[in-house]
Chain A
Amino acid sequence: MARPRPSDQRFSPAAAAATHPFSGRFEPADEEFVIEHTYPAYMIPDLFTVAPPVRDALVTATSRAQDKTVDICLPFLSGEDDVFKYNEHGVPRLNKTNHIKFLHRSLEPLPGGFILMDASRPWFLYWSLSAMTMLGEDVSVYKDAIIETVRSMQNETGGFGGGGGQLSHLATTYAVVLALALVGAEEGFEIVDRKAMWRWICSLKQPDGGFQVGVGGEEDIRGAYCAAVIVTLLNLPLDLTPESPAWTAGSDKNLFSGLAEYVKRCQTFEGGISGQPNAEAHGAYAFCALGCLSILGDPRRIIPRYLDVPRLISWLSSRQYAPEGGFSGRTNKLVDGCYSHWVGGCFPLIEACFNTPSNKQAGMKSDSASPKKLPPASESLFSREGLIRYILCCCQEPSRKGGLRDKPGKAADAYHSCYVLSGLSSAQHQWELTSSVEGDLTGGQMDSVWNVLPYLEDDVQIFDHGDRVLPIHPVYAIPLQHQQAIRSYFLAKEGF
């Protein structure tokens, strides 16, 4: 087992040589390596430049893949890669210009090789617009084009498909609604046939509380989250149509009935959340679960009521690895930039629950339903520095093509650009839940009021001031004002 010196001092040139990432990484700790060449004196904690202190000798497919990933990431993390210019903390700038260019390009006509994405086109709209928005680019120029593009994807029977002639799907509908919110056009909001949408969503609601993603499609927690977002943003009625599979005569069940219980059934013994009950805990579904619950009620109360929060936090925290700094999606899987959002995006929701002034109050009031009182987390529950390092060092496509990616060696794409930047946004900001409208859990009109502040490190900020991206709503994953604009537009509407 390799053991680093017990030090977490920031780098000095001498220390840089001694803790060079390749010194003793796969060697016994007692062997001294003399490093001939020197590196600029970046202030990088050795946490991010050497292998973890405890490692096993046994080699399996999993450990081989993990070791390979560390090998690929280390040169970028320790400032040795020569394509980037690093600041004194060993962190490159966020290359906004190139990323914005990349994102504009991903909205241009795509070559035939993209037909595999033919059923996901609305996602391209959301990913690209959301990423550009976080980078400060004005996306309102796309207003007309977005409206025209999604118009042809809407089905008369409600909802949006992946393209013309495709069946409606909750994921693509979610992407369309968010894309319309991002360009912020009321004439865009108007193209949504809300009555048909409501009927369609009712037809997806299952007796066990969850949602199918499309008629005859699978039932999973993505469906639960997407449906909750769509219903709330479009202010759809919660009543069920008699045609809904979940409808029973004489019952007051509605669209949100049993949904929190469904989410609860997706928590696994590991503490994380699986896509559907009884499967393996997975990062993407953790975000869907917390997002869904935070729509159904005040997160401070509803999350502890339905989930085992200590186990969940333990599992979420285990997703962050050193030296990489980024998050993995499952136990014993590799880091991937997209989990910066799926896992990283869980922390604002969890932390807000603990850190807000009303925590005590909420805790006291609440009572029986939330038996477990948890202390506030005054520090971050995860290493913001680690995540920011991973994102800026490993997830940026270094060439002029721009875009963000899973990890070094992988191609950038719109999906990773969006979720890597969303994760960066989570790491750079701090959310507070200041109040929430009280109401019946399944009454649906739960509007939590969120406040955002830049997260300021106590000592040093490793990234350049200009590289702070714009904050996004911790539940709806679009900027707060866009979420409010679409929500209040439809709240003001009477009837369909």
Chain B
Amino acid sequence: MPPKGKAQKPKGPETSKAPSTAPAPQQAASPALSAPPANVKQRSQQRFDESRPYEVARQKVGLSGLSPAEQVGWISARFARSNAVARSRLGPKSQRELWRHVNEANLPVRALKKDPFWGRDRNGRDVGEYNLAQFDDRTAKRIALTALEVSSRAFGDLRERANRGPRDETSGLVVTETEVQEERVRRASMATLRKELYGEKMTGKLAQDPEWDDVEPIPYEEPAVALAAIAYPEEYAEAISYLRAVMQKKECSPRCLRLTEHIISMNPSHYTVWLYRASNIFALKLPFLDELNWLNSVALENLKNYQIWHHRHLLIENYYPKIADSPSAIADLAASEQEFLATILAEDTKNYHVWSYRSYLVSKLGLWGNADELAAMESMIRDDVRNNSAWSHRFYIIFSNPEHSTPGTASTEPDPRAPPDIVDREIQFAQDRIYLAPQNQSPWIYLRGVLVKGGRKLASVEKFVEEFITGLEEQGSKEDIQSTHALDLLAEIYAEKGDKKKADLCLRRLGDKWDRIRVGYWEWRRKCLGTPGGEVVAQA
């Protein structure tokens, strides 16, 4: 940096207050220089010229072209800024003369360097090309950064002393939360300033956070040849390197919890971070409801996510023992869960993970006979009678109710404990919905499932099934089939009754005309009819 001492201060236009010997030499010689400089380089040039009075004029017109006063000024200035050895070659008188001139004309006694380098900014631009306002701004930032660095070092010293604890005579020192918060703000400002001034990478959020100062992150270094390596965004790369560090130490703390939230916000399908979060929640004994509320918002933002529902499962597993003795607490939990499930299923009616969770919830909280649960299924089936997830769940809550089912009975097997009135009700329920859309397979499968569960003959619904089939005959022009599923069931009914011929006709018509894509299956079913004991399909 060029010297900016006071010696240079009087210069340019201001210097001209010593007109006695050399009236406004620079102005006359170079009017352009009197204009305010456009950028830092120009100002440097101006100052350089000012530190060499009459030099510009001399270069133009030669020494002899200057007035005698100017010549004296030029020579005096040269001697004044030259070194003492050079000056010592002058006699004592000449030296006195020299200093007299210097004083009178207020000549600079030190010269500036030519073309000083001002450095480059973060974009590689020469700072010398900054205009003066920009330059002042940059200077102010550098000063501010230095000030922050000083304060930050002071914070570091303070905390180090505090950490040394009682052994130190200054024991009793504590770093307050306010101070930590101030330091956090300070580091954020420092990072911003460094980035603006020097283009330094923004330090990661965590590296900047005084709360994480004691953790040495473990970055994940992929081998150079790694396949399908993901170019992690910096923030993510930083966060998972801190995650590895705290997981290695098995740390459970509020800051770890915040770290998991941070990572989940970037990648909710990171199963490791979810499991780690759960262990933190349980280790810190955090309130179940707080976590559940947080989870609700995450779930709504990530409808397709898988891990969220296992996390919820773990929360319920952990919480349930605490309320197991309180039927009212269980009822409250059931009601709030049902409410949330209604919200989420309204967004995505067939979400597999949500439905799987729902079936878990029923078994955990014993909701088989819960009226609201049944009503919820009824309402979802009303909204879309083809929602098979709702049909499937309905079957589960009704026929797996431990109050009237035999443990260990397979889903496709009859259960002697299935109450006849419920079986009747469900047959009716399915039939009513089949009328709405006879080609909808869900209620047909349901109907068949109910019949089997209840130990009923399939033929008990023969009349109903026949309503959807008219004029069944080979190549018949009057043949009218409203439902291929009815025809399928009818084939089973005929087989059950031993009428293989009619059963075979149903299956042939399915394969030939009404459901040709499945012809291979229908043909196999026909073969089943011929095999001794082949009615198995009907008896399953």
* Interface positions of A (Cβ within 8 A of B): 1, 6, 8, 47, 52-58, 60-63, 106-112, 114-121, 124-125, 128, 142, 144-146, 148-149, 151-152, 161-167, 169, 214-218, 264-265, 267-271, 274-276, 278-282, 308, 310-311, 313-314, 317-318, 320-322, 325, 330-333, 372-383, 386
Mark the stretch among B189-197, B265-273, B286-294, B331-339 that contacts chain A. B265-273
Q: Which of A52, A56, A308 contacts B438 (CB under 8 A)?
A: A56
Q: Which of A56, A270, A321, A330 contacts B437 (CB under 8 A)?
A: A56
B203 CB to nearest A CB, Å: 19
- Chain B residues with a Cβ closer than 8 Å to the other chain, count: 97
* Interface positions of B (Cβ within 8 A of A): 218, 220-223, 225-233, 236, 240, 243-244, 247, 266-272, 275, 278-279, 310, 313-314, 349-350, 352, 355-356, 359-360, 363, 383-389, 392-393, 395-396, 399-400, 410-413, 436-442, 445-446, 449, 452-453, 475, 481-484, 488, 512-521, 523-524, 527-528, 530-534, 536-537, 540
Q: Is the CB of B531 within 8 A of A373?
A: yes
Which residues of B have CB within 8 Å of A281? 392
Inter-chain CA distance A381–B436, complex, in Å, is 31
Q: Is the CB of B518 within 8 A of A317?
A: yes
Q: Is the CB of B226 within 8 A of A270?
A: no
Inter-chain CA distance A166–B387, complex, in Å, is 37
Given contacts A6-B513, A47-B516, A377-B524, are A142 and B227 in contact (CB under 8 A)? yes
Interface centre among A124, A146, A217, A322 (most CB of B within 10 A): A217
> Can you pick out 17 interface pairs between chain A and chain B where the beta carbons lie within 8 Å of each other?
A1-B482, A54-B439, A110-B230, A110-B231, A111-B231, A112-B233, A119-B269, A125-B228, A165-B240, A218-B310, A278-B359, A308-B540, A314-B537, A322-B516, A330-B352, A372-B536, A381-B521
Determine the main DSSP class of A at the interface with B. loop
Q: Is the CB of A216 within 8 A of B314?
A: yes
B25 CB to nearest A CB, Å: 63
CB-CB nearest 5 A-B residue pairs: A62-B386, A269-B449, A322-B517, A317-B521, A56-B437
Inter-chain CA distance A317–B231, complex, in Å, is 43
Which residues of A have CB within 8 Å of B441? 318, 331-332
Q: Is the CB of B352 within 8 A of A163?
A: no
Q: Which of B352, B363, B387, B517 contacts A275 (CB under 8 A)?
A: B352
Q: Is the CB of A373 within 8 A of B533?
A: yes
Q: Is the CB of B520 within 8 A of A377?
A: yes
B155 CB to nearest A CB, Å: 31
- 17 further interface pairs, Cβ-Cβ under 8 Å (given A54-B484, A61-B387, A164-B221): A8-B516, A54-B439, A54-B482, A62-B384, A63-B386, A111-B230, A115-B236, A121-B230, A161-B272, A165-B218, A165-B220, A218-B313, A314-B488, A332-B387, A372-B533, A374-B528, A376-B527
Which residues of A have CB within 8 Å of B271? 119, 162, 166-167, 169, 214, 217
Q: Is the CB of A330 within 8 A of B521?
A: no
Q: Which of A148, A162, A310, A331 contacts B223 (CB under 8 A)?
A: A148
Inter-chain CA distance A164–B400, complex, in Å, is 43
What total of A-B pairs shows CB separation below 8 Å? 278
Q: Is the CB of A124 within 8 A of B228?
A: yes
A107 CB to nearest B CB, Å: 4
Inter-chain CA distance A427–B396, complex, in Å, is 34
Inter-chain CA distance A56–B355, complex, in Å, is 27
Given contacts A166-B272, A280-B352, are A313 and B230 in contact (CB under 8 A)? no
Which residues of A have CB within 8 Å of B225? 144-145, 148-149
B373 CB to nearest A CB, Å: 13
Inter-chain CA distance A184–B388, complex, in Å, is 43
Interface centre among B475, B481, B482, B540 (most CB of A within 10 A): B540
